Amino acid sequence: MRKSTILIAGIALGVFISKQIESNPETKKALQETAAKVKTFANAVGAGYREQESQASTAKKPSARTAKKPATTTKRTR
């Protein structure tokens, strides 16, 4: 019951805020500018991720090393 009350209150608050944004042109403009900035930032992050991913996929793999024989040890006599 409590969760449904919170859900209904959230929906009502969202509707109220959206109507206030639509009726105030300054707020609407500020919201559009903020959305554009967020979109620009998200595109920059995505481009950086793709660049790092392409660098990682084209990086040279280390060459396979040949197995070295273990060093021979001499037995010590007392």
27 within 8 A of 21, measured Cβ to Cβ: yes
Structural domain boundaries in the chain? 25-52
Instruction: Give me the pLDDT at residue 27, please.
Output: 86
Report which residue type is found at 14.
G
Quick one: how far is CA 54 from the chain centroid?
A: 17
Section 40-49 average pLDDT: 96
Instruction: Give me the pLDDT at residue 70, please.
Output: 65
What pTM does this model have?
0.51
Decide if pLDDT at 61 tops 80. no
User: Could you give the percent of the chain with pLDDT greater than 90?
Assistant: 45
pLDDT, tens digit (0-9, with 9 covering 90-100), for 17-42: 889 888 988 988 988 999 999 999 99
